[in-house]
């Protein structure tokens, strides 16, 4: 096994030399109760912990980090726990997405500025996975991703409850008058019964599966429920493994390649992934120097069936069932040759070696390619005069009657305006309308909030409708469902064609042919554009100001323009003086 010489370790540059500066480094380490035996000849491993008392999905990280440290010590490394900002999806406003790139920057710089040789990244709640991975990729040290694991199934009054998906479903029923206040409060207490991330195949489960598909997790790590004792053992194994990775100098550029990105996309499509995955996949791939476009994603989607029968794309099951059925290794084994089995992973073995012994214990939860939940990829990329740079829809989780649709637009310029439409039992809207929310994109939201699963209008709920075509430049939660067209690019706030639509314009959706158009001529659009006035930016100072100056559109992954690979790769190591 290749063994990197200790004097080439980054930490050795801080602690090794016999000079005044290193005297300071060593004496301050000793101030913390450490002695030479703790660091001499050993890799220093940063454990980036996203624990916070406002982050319910990561509550167990306070306990779990002890297992990571134990593993690092077992393997002869020196663990150092470093807190980083936690991206709690529910409590953080205006949206965790506003801060994804900020955390990516924090991760990159915290690794660069400190005497560390490798890292374990502890994340799981939606944006935490891409944020941690993007930052660590840009820094380039060996790292391993430790997923938080899904929470237990929800339960109330004998009913199994799924994160998000059942909240939307029962909220519609409550608004239709079918659920009492007491029942609603019972659902509130039963839908999230343990720590861990959302247990549907929402953004969190999708992103941790993608991290494993990229080769960044130990095999099977992403499927272990957070409260399962296997999660503790996996945490210790991450600690042991990262020490070996540092000695082997197994850097992320050897793992994240064109092949592993294609594997991750295939895995995502087979899980019936969250629409958010599209944005994060593009951002992570671009940080890694691997070009990935919406068209690439659509092409893989068209040939990859959904085989994870997990809600919301699947019908009956949740992540706990997925784990008992064999988890992600079993799903990857079903995908077989659709994956590049020679791709390298953090385990030091290839994908093929990792999944060779995987078993599918429940063929209804993890289907075969011959018996999929949904025959074609769960996501479709649409283009047309309404979305020249693309839009996304999830056909696997919507009423199939909307695969082709033509209907008049009903336009809301803001969420407040939208609410006045959806809460009005007399609103002038029909099930054929296309309900549009604009100014909810990366700049308009700001931060592209998850407003894209626009609630069904009260009037239509009362008439018995539960789905209609909705359209926005926002994102939607990965646990959402419905005929919701999302991520329209360019967004309305920067003058995309969406800004020019008026109530009553005819919108045409053709998912089989991947088209999204407004029935207006180029001349009509150009005429309206002359009268369009750009809205005032949301921020004039601070992080928000920087965000608005540099955020890219959804089809580019919503990264900052100055964090592209060519910039990140040229950042020098800090001087030790």
In the bound state with ligand FES, the residue whose beta carbon lies nearer, of 150 and 407, is 150
In this structure, what DSSP letter does residue 477 have? Answer: -
- Asked if residue 210 binds ligand FES (CB under 6 A), the reply is no
In this structure, what DSSP letter does residue 552 have? Answer: P
In the bound state with ligand FES, the residue whose beta carbon lies nearer, of 439 and 479, is 479
Comparing CA positions, the residue from 296, 493, 516 lying closest to residue 388 is 516
Cβ atoms of residues 346 and 241 within 8 Å: yes
Which one of 22-30, 197-205, 291-299, 497-505 is the stretch in contact with ligand FES (CB under 6 A)?
A: 197-205
- Asked if residue 103 binds ligand FES (CB under 6 A), the reply is no
- Asked if residue 559 binds ligand FES (CB under 6 A), the reply is no
**Nearest distance from residue 320's CB to ligand FES, in Å?**
15
- Asked if residue 126 binds ligand FES (CB under 6 A), the reply is yes
Identified binder of ligand FES from the candidate list 197, 280, 338, 470, rule CB under 6 A:
197
- Asked if residue 146 binds ligand FES (CB under 6 A), the reply is no
Comparing CA positions, the residue from 17, 120, 24 lying closest to residue 78 is 120
Residues 6+ apart with CB under 8 A from 567: none
Cβ atoms of residues 539 and 406 within 8 Å: no
Identified binder of ligand FES from the candidate list 22, 70, 90, 519, rule CB under 6 A:
90
In the bound state with ligand FES, the residue whose beta carbon lies nearer, of 89 and 117, is 89
Rounded to 5 degrees, φ, ψ at 252 are: -60, -25
Q: How many CB atoms lie within 10 A of CB 549?
A: 13
Spatial distance between the Cα atoms of 476 and 461, rounded to a whole number of angstroms = 20
Binding track, positions 158-187, relative to ligand FES; x by CB under 6 A: -----x------------------------
**Nearest distance from residue 160's CB to ligand FES, in Å?**
17
Rounded to 5 degrees, φ, ψ at 121 are: -105, 120
In the bound state with ligand FES, the residue whose beta carbon lies nearer, of 247 and 451, is 451
For residues 152, 154, 159 and 163, what is the CA-based torsion angle, rounded to 10 degrees? Answer: -120
- Asked if residue 494 binds ligand FES (CB under 6 A), the reply is no
- How do strand 387-393 and strand 380-384 relate by DSSP bridges? antiparallel
Spatial distance between the Cα atoms of 525 and 404, rounded to a whole number of angstroms = 23
- Asked if residue 409 binds ligand FES (CB under 6 A), the reply is no
DSSP string, 421-483: HHT-TT-S--TTSEEEE-S-STTTTTS--S--SPPPPHHHHHTT----EEEESS---TT--SS
Identified binder of ligand FES from the candidate list 45, 110, 198, 558, rule CB under 6 A:
198
In this structure, what DSSP letter does residue 393 have? Answer: E
Cβ atoms of residues 162 and 155 within 8 Å: no
Spatial distance between the Cα atoms of 87 and 398, rounded to a whole number of angstroms = 28
**Nearest distance from residue 86's CB to ligand FES, in Å?**
10
Enumerate the β-bridge partners of residue 156.
159
Identified binder of ligand FES from the candidate list 110, 125, 509, 554, rule CB under 6 A:
125
Which one of 20-28, 66-74, 135-143, 196-204 is the stretch in contact with ligand FES (CB under 6 A)?
A: 196-204
In three-state secondary structure terms, 444 is: coil
Question: CA-CA distances (angstroms) from residue 455 to 94, 419, 513?
Answer: 18, 9, 27
**Nearest distance from residue 111's CB to ligand FES, in Å?**
24
- Asked if residue 318 binds ligand FES (CB under 6 A), the reply is no
Size of residue set near ligand FES by CB under 6 A: 10
Identified binder of ligand FES from the candidate list 45, 48, 57, 107, rule CB under 6 A:
57
In the bound state with ligand FES, the residue whose beta carbon lies nearer, of 96 and 437, is 96
Spatial distance between the Cα atoms of 448 and 94, rounded to a whole number of angstroms = 9
Which one of 22-30, 195-203, 388-396, 454-462 is the stretch in contact with ligand FES (CB under 6 A)?
A: 195-203
Identified binder of ligand FES from the candidate list 201, 204, 297, 343, rule CB under 6 A:
204
Count CA atoms within 13 Å of residue 16 on its CB side.
15
Edge-to-edge order in the sheet of strand 143-147: 78-83, 44-49, 118-123, 143-147
**Nearest distance from residue 190's CB to ligand FES, in Å?**
16
**Nearest distance from residue 125's CB to ligand FES, in Å?**
3
In the bound state with ligand FES, the residue whose beta carbon lies nearer, of 125 and 456, is 125
Residues 6+ apart with CB under 8 A from 34: 78
Identified binder of ligand FES from the candidate list 43, 75, 80, 89, rule CB under 6 A:
89
Which one of 198-206, 226-234, 388-396, 438-446 is the stretch in contact with ligand FES (CB under 6 A)?
A: 198-206
**Nearest distance from residue 222's CB to ligand FES, in Å?**
13
- Asked if residue 211 binds ligand FES (CB under 6 A), the reply is no
In the bound state with ligand FES, the residue whose beta carbon lies nearer, of 103 and 511, is 103
**Nearest distance from residue 163's CB to ligand FES, in Å?**
6
Count CA atoms within 13 Å of residue 335 on its CB side.
31
In the bound state with ligand FES, the residue whose beta carbon lies nearer, of 36 and 62, is 62
Binding site for ligand FES (CB under 6 A): 57, 89-90, 125-126, 163, 197-198, 202, 204
């Amino acid at each position: 096994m290749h063994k990197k010489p200790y004097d080439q370790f980054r930490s050795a540059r801080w602690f090794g030399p016999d000079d005044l500066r290193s005297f300071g480094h060593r004496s301050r380490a000793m101030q913390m109760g450490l002695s030479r035996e703790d660091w001499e000849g050993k890799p220093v491993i940063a454990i980036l912990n996203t624990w916070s008392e406002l982050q319910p999905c990561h509550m167990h990280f306070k306990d779990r980090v002890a297992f990571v440290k134990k593993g690092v010590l077992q393997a002869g490394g020196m663990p150092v726990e470093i807190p980083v900002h936690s991206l709690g999806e529910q409590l953080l406003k205006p949206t965790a997405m506003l801060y994804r790139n900020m955390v990516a920057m924090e991760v990159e710089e915290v690794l660069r500025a400190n005497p560390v040789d490798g890292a374990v990244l502890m994340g799981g709640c939606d944006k935490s996975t891409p944020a941690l991975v993007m930052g660590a990729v840009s820094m380039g040290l060996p790292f391993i991703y430790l997923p938080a694991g899904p929470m237990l199934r929800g339960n109330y009054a004998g009913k199994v409850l799924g994160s998000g998906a059942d909240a939307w479903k029962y909220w519609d029923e409550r608004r239709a008058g079918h659920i009492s206040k007491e029942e609603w409060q019972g659902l509130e207490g039963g839908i999230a019964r343990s720590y861990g991330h959302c247990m549907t195949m929402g953004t969190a489960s999708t992103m941790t599966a993608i991290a494993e598909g990229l080769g960044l997790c130990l095999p099977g790590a992403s499927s272990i429920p957070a409260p399962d004792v296997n999660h503790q053992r996996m945490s210790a194994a991450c600690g042991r493994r990262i020490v070996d990775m540092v000695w082997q100098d197994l850097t992320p550029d050897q793992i994240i390649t064109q092949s592993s990105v294609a594997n991750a996309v295939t895995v995502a499509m087979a899980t019936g992934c969250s629409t958010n995955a599209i944005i994060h996949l593009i951002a992570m791939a671009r940080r890694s120097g691997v070009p990935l476009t919406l068209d690439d994603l659509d092409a893989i989607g068209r040939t990859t069936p959904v085989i994870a029968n997990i809600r919301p794309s699947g019908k009956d099951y949740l992540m706990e069932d997925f784990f008992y059925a064999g988890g992600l290794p079993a799903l990857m084994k079903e995908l077989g040759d659709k994956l590049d089995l020679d791709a390298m992973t953090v385990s030091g073995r290839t994908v093929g070696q990792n999944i060779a012994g995987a078993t599918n214990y429940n063929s209804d939860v993890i289907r075969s390619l011959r018996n999929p939940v949904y025959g074609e990829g769960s996501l479709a990329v649409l283009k047309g005069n309404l979305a020249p740079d693309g839009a996304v829809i999830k056909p696997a989780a919507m009423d199939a009657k909307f695969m082709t649709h033509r209907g008049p637009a009903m336009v809301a310029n803001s969420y407040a305006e939208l609410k006045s439409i959806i809460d009005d039992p007399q609103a002038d809207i029909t099930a054929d309308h296309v309900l549009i929310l604009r100014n909810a994109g990366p700049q308009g939201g700001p931060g592209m909030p998850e407003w894209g699963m626009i609630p069904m209008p009260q009037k239509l709920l009362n008439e018995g409708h539960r789905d209609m075509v909705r359209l926005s430049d926002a994102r939607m939660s990965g646990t959402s469902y419905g005929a919701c067209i999302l991520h329209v690019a360019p967004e309305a706030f920067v003058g995309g064609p969406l800004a020019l639509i008026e109530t009553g314009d005819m919108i045409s959706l053709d998912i089989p042919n991947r088209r999204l158009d407004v029935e207006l001529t180029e001349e009509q659009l150009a005429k309206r554009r002359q009268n369009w006035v750009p809205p005032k930016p949301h921020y004039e100072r601070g992080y928000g100001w920087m965000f608005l100056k540099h955020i890219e559109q959804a089809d580019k992954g919503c990264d900052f323009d100055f964090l592209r690979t060519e910039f990140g790769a040229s950042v020098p190591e800090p001087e030790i003086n």
